[in-house]
Structures are given as structure tokens and as C-alpha cells.
Structure 1
Amino acid sequence: MCVSRCLSCVGVALVALAIICILSNLFLLFPNMDTRFLLQGHVTREALWSSGLWGSGLMVLLGARSFLVSSRTTGCCAFRSKMFSLILVSLVCSAVAGFSCLVSLTGLVQGPMCLYNSSSGETWGVPLRPTADRDPGYLWNSSLWSGVCLEPKSVVQWNLVWFSLQSGSSLIQTLLCLANVLNCLTGLVLGRGLSPNKV
């Protein structure tokens, strides 16, 4: 087992996942790649929170950078002190990635903001939001995906894809950061890792 190699692997994986989260959140802010919905305030609330940008994006990127830089630390005492600080970094990263995952799942269950026909005419809102008498069945009922929202076009599919991608990536980030806590604890106790004896 090599603690440094694990740090590098986790760091590289987190960079890739953070880029996915950033891009997903950007796409959620611009349904159908149209800026007017964002400018008019007709974007899903959970996308506006931008947890994929600042949480599982920027914060996790900073954590990944720390992991990659620390994997090259030399010296027994220096390495162990780095491991102690990386435990804290891993916990912070897992917390923000977990928050981003929860926000994404909430956005997925609530459904998108769109223009739809209500009893008072066409209005902007969240028509697929679950209520006491209706479960979030729109996720499994594809006939609602194009039949409810008038504008933006295909916004239900748009939100399904990008919120699913963001929540999945954030979940993997959370698990990787929690696993990295164990890796850093191992590094704190054993140093850089176990290597075969040289004769």
C-alpha cells in the first residue's frame, strides 16, 4: 500500500469529477444554451444556488490540488504533518460535495422551472413538484417530459441529464474524500507507505 500513490489517484479523480460538476451546473444555468432564461430569472432554484460551481467544483478542485502537491512531500515529519492537515481538507471537501449532491437530488426531484398552462393561464413555476397527493412520478413517466412544460423546450430532459450527472459526480467525490480520510490516517500512522525490504 502506498499512501502517496493513493493521494495522487484521489487528486486526479477529484479534478475530473469537479470539472464535470462545474460544466453540469453551467449547463443548468443556461437551459437549451439560451441566456434569456437566466437573465429573466426563469431558472431552477437549485441551479441558481450553483453548488456545482463553488462546492463540488472550486472547493473540491482546491482540495484535489492539496492532495496532488502533498503526494510529493518528502521527510517523515513533514509528511505526517501534511497528512494531519489533509484529514481536515478531506472532511471539508466531503461536506461540500455532499451538500452539492443533496442540492442536485433536490433539483432532480422538484423538477424544472418552466412556462406551463395553469388554471389562470400560462405561468412560470415548477409544475412537476411533488405534492401531498402526487409523488415525483415524472421521473419515471416520460410522457410528462414534453407535455407539461411549454418553454424552455425539452427543459425536463435537460434538467434530468445535468442534475443526474452533477449529483452522481458529487456523490463519488464525497465517497472519495471520506476514503481519503482513512488514507491520510494511515499516512499519519505509517508514513508514506509500506515498501518491500531491499537486500
Structure 2
Amino acid sequence: MCTGHCSRSVGMALIPTAIVCMLANTLLLFPDLKYQYLTESHVTREAMWCSGIWASGFLVLVAARGFTTRYEKKGCCYFTVEVSRKMGYACLAILGAGVCFVVSGTGLALGPLCLHNSTEGLEWGRPLKQVKTGEKLYLYTPERWSSTCVEPRGVVIWNILLFSVLMAASGLELAFCVLHLLAALLEFMCGPRFCKNKVVPA
């Protein structure tokens, strides 16, 4: 089948990106590599949703396994079922990677949850979050990163780095799967002789 080699290549490419997403999201749950922030709910909700673990991680691994599984059956019905199966797995991976990409982008834009100085003293919150429309995003003011948060140590860089890794990895997953879905759709519409450049007699 035309998408056979493509599916296996996409499946093999998705495995490392899914593992990277799972590791990055796990690290987000432990700022400064300490567990008490998680037990005290002092971790951003975007990290707590664990979209890098279940969405761009587990769901994408399920799709990758489906892409790399081979069947030796032949026939017109098999062709239809097989291409439909590949498209289903591609849609599953697109859904998982898309959820992670959006959640990670939101977490990156809103900034970390940390202990910071406020008008009422030290309190937990997201001091780098945009308050007014048109306000400059904290990502473009690196001079604020080291002085805003008192605890956890280095949490701003921690969040920026890991959420960026999640966005990059899930973005790659999206690109791979969208291209594969388009190829599978083309093959489905053109029939089993598409790759051989043969015209099926009427």
C-alpha cells in the first residue's frame, strides 16, 4: 500500500516525540525537582491537566503502534479497511497532539504559579500573567524572570523551557499526522492502484 512505508516511518517518528512529551509534563509537576509543590497544589493547572502524558503521550503512542502494525492480507475490502484504520489513528494522534499544543501554549502565555511579593505580602499566584489587554507578554521582558518569583527557585525558566518543549514536540506530532492523513485520504480516493500509477479498468 502507498501509505504502508509512510505509516511505519510516521509511527517510528512519533514514539520519541511522545516520550519527550511525557517526560516534559512529568517534570512540570515537580518545580525545582521537589514534590511538595505538587502535594500542596502549587503547580499550574496546565501542568496538572497532564496533556503531555495522556494526550500527546499515551494517545500518540497508541496511534504509533497502529501505524507500525503490519497485516499481510490482500484484497479490495482489506484496502478500504486498512486505509480507514490508518486515517482513524491519524485523527486520534492529531486530537491528542492538538490538545497538548493548545494547553502548553496557554501555560506558557500565562506564566508560572509561584510565591511572589504582592501588596498584601507574600502570596501564591501567577504574577507574570497579562492583566490588561495589550500589555507586553512577560516572555519579551526577561529582566523580570529572576526577580518576580521567590519560590520555587528558577520556576520561570523551568516553565518556559518545558512548555516550549511540549509545544515543539506536539507541533511535530501534528505536522507528521496531518501530512499522513492527507496522504491516506488521497490514496483512499484514488484506490489501491494509486501508487503503481495504473488505471483501474471500468
Q: TM-score, normalised by structure 2?
A: 0.89
Give the AA of the match of 1:101. F
Q: Which runs of 4+ in 1 moved over 6 A?
A: none
Q: Which runs of 5+ in 2 are unaligned?
A: none
- Per the alignment, residue 156 of structure 1 pairs with 156
Which structure has the higher relative contact order (CA within 8 Å, separation 6+)?
Answer: 1
In 1: Cα distance, 2:156 partner to 2:49 partner: 19
Q: Is the 8 A contact 1:4 1:193 kept in 2?
A: no
CA deviation after TM superposition for structure 1 residue 14, in Å: 0.9
In 2: Cα distance, 1:123 partner to 1:113 partner: 10
CA deviation after TM superposition for structure 1 residue 180, in Å: 1.3
Q: Is the 8 A contact 2:91 2:181 kept in 1?
A: yes
Q: How does 1:124-163 map to 2 (within 5 A)?
A: 124-132=124-132, 135-163=135-163
Q: Is the 8 A contact 1:117 1:123 kept in 2?
A: yes
Give the AA of the match of 2:120. S
Q: Is the 8 A contact 2:21 2:166 kept in 1?
A: yes
Percent pairwise identity: 37
Matched, 1:60 2:57: no
In 1: Cα distance, 2:15 partner to 2:135 partner: 36
In 2: Cα distance, 1:62 partner to 1:131 partner: 40
- Per the alignment, residue 49 of structure 1 pairs with 49
Q: 1:156 to 1:134 in 2, by over 3 A?
A: farther
Moved more, 182-191 or 141-150: 182-191
Q: TM-score, normalised by structure 1?
A: 0.91
Q: Once the two structures are superposed, what CA deviation does each residue of 1:74-108 show, in whole Å capped at 9, x if it has no partner?
A: 41332431111221221122122111100000000
- Per the alignment, residue 191 of structure 1 pairs with 192
Matched, 1:75 2:77: no
Q: Is the 8 A contact 1:109 1:136 kept in 2?
A: no
CA deviation after TM superposition for structure 1 residue 156, in Å: 0.3
Query: How many residues of Structure 1 are paired with residues of Structure 2 in the alignment?
Result: 196
Q: 1:26 to 1:82 in 2, by over 3 A?
A: same
Q: Once the two structures are superposed, what CA deviation does each residue of 1:134-188 show, in whole Å capped at 9, x if it has no partner?
A: 6352112111111000000000000000000001111111121111112222443
